[in-house]
Structure 1
């Protein structure tokens, strides 16, 4: 590997664009992963941003997974979830010094991305690494293909969509009268604060600023794959459009 730009190195799935659609194919896990940290440290900054963007979304992915366990009884693996959460925290800590391009910090980012991919391998599903943030980000990507617009890096789109999901969960925390849902979200509020503080420090670029494109991506993102997330929770209660409108304004604050 020559750039810590995404978590696919250790993954057992390969999302490919086929005829303007993102299709996930099963694949074999790598037997060996060789990363040159010196080369990674000199990678274009956009690729480094993309790797961070892909990682900060893991908090949303795990929260969505826990929400699905609560609402649908979906299988949830505590060990894998904790592994991914720890890797994400280490990555965010190292990313504070991203501009220094220190190989020891780059190592933490690389290890986080590999750990995320291994979580996918352990569960046989992208659930530990992909939730609302990926469903929205990948929908924006497909929309770019559909409308012949330039594409952005996967992690850039996922990073932006992470702030959208954070806005939705924060609003839900304030307004929800279900004590169990509130308690679940409350566990993640410090993680949300850490992500937002990181963004204020390093300014991961955004992929989407147009409100109509943003909104269409969020609404369509709910059905990007059959996966219960906060998008489905809100849709089932007739709140998705209201929360999308709110999330646009909140997301743009961190641009």
Structure 2
């Protein structure tokens, strides 16, 4: 079988995993996950899965919330089979941060007898378990408790290291289990976060094509179609989110897994993460530095997707003075840029500066080449911008689901939003519309556009 954009729409989720698949893009894709199980009552298969992997001493990883939701049930299912398990529970009164302390707690819970890791939860617990699995070589599985994010089968873990949000290589789980009866009972904010993370793929896919035009970046149409189809399934069932219908919740979980598969296929987060994630990551760091309780990742992404929609629709009318952009690029002030990084990134600034020196992102020569490429392909870029979902479209989807529509609704103040527009492009090396605005000298203009937009 060959993976094509046409074939993708006909494939079940397990058709994508466990085997090497040649693709129309010229590469071969492989997903080192054995199976995905989504359905009603499937948590009852946990003990059979543990037995299938010949585990005698599994370690259950949960927090004080997910333990009540499903961790104790997993324990009981293993007890009934006579399995000698161990449990590590993170006591939390707010969302767990995947930092060095959290990683240390888990690695200390792994002993010489541990032969399987069972993460009971989503988000951070998933990232921590995958990371420790990669470091120890111990296989893992995920028992999802909420359809809240797309990292279940991503081959990177989103960790906070030296105060900087960092994507770190990890080992994929062998099995992902999503019991719809449990998922649909998740807190509303977690379900809406999963939807927000899915909606964020709209702008991510456009950003990927943008970089394809400007930087000749590798692009896989079939992999992009995996994400696009997953988004559409969620949109088609959007009215079932409020009522927590099996179909709506199942589609969100299925979509989050499919986009994770897409990321693993291309060995980066391009099919699922773009400028909306860069803005979100900046907000997250600022909350952490200010001692505020973290917002769920997908909650932020849903909101930033609306902002990026506004950016793209505004850009469709842009008239660029390319000569002025090239002249400004020649006058780039590295010292001034570094001061801005230190001022706006605070504790995370050293990591940003190290990464910038490593990838030479401030090369004037490269910036001029990009400006010339934008100039020569401007009609294509405008056409692409017109394909992006508008702010109104995304707002309507989120509103129908009952999700927040403005940063202020969840406590993100106007200053953080303003600063993120100015500097969030530095969070990752990956090129997005935020980078293009910077190349063209339009960052301040579009920051004002967003400043005004969020006040409406």
Tell me the CA shift for residue 155 of structure 1: 0.6
Which protein has the bigger strand share? 2
Provide the C-alpha distance between the structure 1 equivalents of 2:259 and 2:240, rounded to a whole number of angstroms.
Answer: 21
Retained in 1: the 8 A contact 2:203–2:276? yes
Question: How well do the aligned residues superpose, as a CA RMSD in angstroms?
Answer: 1.6
1:236 equivalent in structure 2: 439
Tell me if 1:202 matches 2:404. Answer: no
TM-score, normalization by structure 2: 0.53
Tell me the CA shift for residue 176 of structure 1: 4.6
Looking at both structures, which has the greater relative contact order when contacts are Cα pairs under 8 Å and sequence separation is at least 6? 1
Tell me the CA shift for residue 186 of structure 1: 1.9
Tell me the CA shift for residue 203 of structure 1: 3.6
1:84 equivalent in structure 2: 227
Retained in 2: the 8 A contact 1:60–1:166? yes
Tell me the CA shift for residue 87 of structure 1: 0.4
Which protein has the bigger helix share? 1
Partner of 1:33, secondary structure, is: strand
1:250 equivalent in structure 2: 453
Tell me if 1:138 matches 2:281. Answer: yes
Unaligned 5+ segments in structure 2 are: 1-143, 321-377
1:158 equivalent in structure 2: 301
Tell me the CA shift for residue 195 of structure 1: 2.0
1:43 equivalent in structure 2: 186
2:310 equivalent in structure 1: 167
Of 46, 61, 65, the residue aligned with 2:204 is 61
Provide the C-alpha distance between the structure 2 equivalents of 1:84 and 1:35, rounded to a whole number of angstroms.
Answer: 19
Provide the C-alpha distance between the structure 2 equivalents of 1:39 and 1:252, rounded to a whole number of angstroms.
Answer: 38
2:252 equivalent in structure 1: 109
Report the number of matched residues: 252
Tell me the CA shift for residue 129 of structure 1: 0.8
Tell me if 1:212 matches 2:415. Answer: yes
Provide the C-alpha distance between the structure 1 equivalents of 2:253 and 2:213, rounded to a whole number of angstroms.
Answer: 32
Deviates more, 1:16-25 or 1:244-253: 244-253
2:49 equivalent in structure 1: none
Partner of 1:22, secondary structure, is: strand
Runs of 4+ in structure 1 off by over 3 angstroms are 191-194, 206-209
Provide the C-alpha distance between the structure 2 equivalents of 1:125 and 1:115, rounded to a whole number of angstroms.
Answer: 14
Deviates more, 1:235-244 or 1:204-213: 204-213
Provide the C-alpha distance between the structure 1 equivalents of 2:216 and 2:316, rounded to a whole number of angstroms.
Answer: 21
Provide the C-alpha distance between the structure 2 equivalents of 1:163 and 1:97, rounded to a whole number of angstroms.
Answer: 21
Retained in 1: the 8 A contact 2:146–2:186? yes
Partner of 1:127, secondary structure, is: coil
TM-score, normalization by structure 1: 0.93
Provide the C-alpha distance between the structure 1 equivalents of 2:435 and 2:182, rounded to a whole number of angstroms.
Answer: 41
2:364 equivalent in structure 1: none
Please say which structure displays the higher CA radius of gyration.
Answer: 2
2:383 equivalent in structure 1: 183
User: What are the superposed Cα offsets for residues 74-102 of structure 1, whole Å, 9 maximum, x if unpaired?
Assistant: 00110000110110111122232211011
Tell me the CA shift for residue 28 of structure 1: 1.8
After the TM superposition, which residues 218-229 of structure 1 pair with which residues of structure 2 at under 5 Å, given as runs? 218-229=421-432
2:20 equivalent in structure 1: none
Retained in 2: the 8 A contact 1:41–1:101? yes
Tell me the CA shift for residue 199 of structure 1: 2.2
Provide the C-alpha distance between the structure 1 equivalents of 2:178 and 2:301, rounded to a whole number of angstroms.
Answer: 23
Partner of 1:238, secondary structure, is: coil
Partner of 2:388, secondary structure, is: helix
Tell me the CA shift for residue 151 of structure 1: 1.2
